[in-house]
Structure 1
Amino acid sequence: MNGQTRLSWTDVRDEIRARILSRTYAPGDKLPRDEDIAIELGCARTTVHRAMQDLSQIGLVERKRKGGTHVMTDPVTRATFDIPITRREVEQRGSKYGYQLISSTLDDTPMPVMARFGIHKPCQMLHVKALHLADNRPYIFEDRWVNTRSTPDILNVDLEVESANEWLVRNKPYSRVDVRFYAMNAQGESAKYLSTTAGTALLVIERTTWIGQDPITSVQAVAAPGYQLTALN
């Protein structure tokens, strides 16, 4: 990335982030010293320092005064919201976690999903439906769309074994997330998979993520009756 023009801190940030996303720097890896990156990229050390500060703030790297900079093992990208791993959420409540893949197909995006992503033409994405369980009872029904252009590696994941939720949190850091909370009445699939009667009030957590301008995933996580959302500061 050496060139004639002087790089800005955002240029350096984007280059390091690209290396993390491409697994040039894998989770847990120690990054080169700021001084070495500055020499490689032909910029000032202070420029690298500012870029690393931003990457630390969004949760991609961890910086320690004498320990250097490491790629986060479980990147949560704290832009505005920490996306939980549902398995951990269940286990932290003292329950036994279970998971069932309902379906995984390549489908054309419907209008509501296009609106969430801000795209104007239908395109094929991976459509995943799955059920998370706590103590063998329905916990969250997940209806998810994944953009395979920005996230092609998802096609190599055995979603029968590992949930898209957990794989994406661990492997696909994001730069932006939109989150909506709303209530809906159980009907159709939500009533069926959450084992509840039609008309029951359910909490929906809708999350959509991007990396730069590229959509990553949009999910409607419909929680079973009695679900409680807890935030700790």
Structure 2
Amino acid sequence: MEQAVPLVIPAAFDPSSLQAQINNKANASTVGGLATAINSKAAQSAVDALATGKADVAALAGKANVADIPLPADVMPKSEATSPAKGAETKKYALEDHQHPRITSATGNPATHIIGSNGLATVAFTQAFDLFPNPVFTEVPPPTGTMPGQPAYFRVESWIRETMSPAPAGKYVGCVVRAWRGRNLPVIGLLTGLLSLVGVNSVITALTGFDPFGAPATGTTFTCTAIKRSDG
């Protein structure tokens, strides 16, 4: 005898309900669990390890040496050279306000750089030179008045050196400069000289021993640039 089975119609499928359950599971287990684990691990390992003993500047400097990180230079800058050099120090760097030594002395104080009645003047260099430098003298306009018509000529009469005991003397710290001024040839009767032997003799006499650079240079103001020699 056949038995009748009642017909049961299943409830309609609700995808939104299933998605909500998945989200709830993810929030409750996966996302929340991972966040908690990350937070706890960061506090115990990375953050604490980095924070311990890292704020001390001296300690950081020591670490920099070990890690070959460049540090500020602790030696004086080198002077100029006659040939270029790229350098070989890779673990030091120059400070922004560093200064290179000067290899020249440029002076020109009108109160001191003026030729006296004896034709001399004393120049004090702004630095000492191991070997005598190469000086260049230039006549400049005086504080008052005008420049003479003829140029002045200069030479180093003597060097001024540091006193050392015993000798020899020390570095070059100045010099004594002598100056002359050019002058015109004497005015003589050239026509007379061409016409007679006596005139020729007078011309010869007038020019014999005449110094075209023998005019006094008293009161001449000048500048002096002393340059360090390339071999010293």
> Normalising by the residue count of structure 1, what TM-score does the alignment of the two structures yield?
0.26
* Larger Rg over CA atoms: 2
Higher strand fraction: Structure 1 or Structure 2?
A: 1
Higher relative contact order (CA 8 A, sep 6+): 2
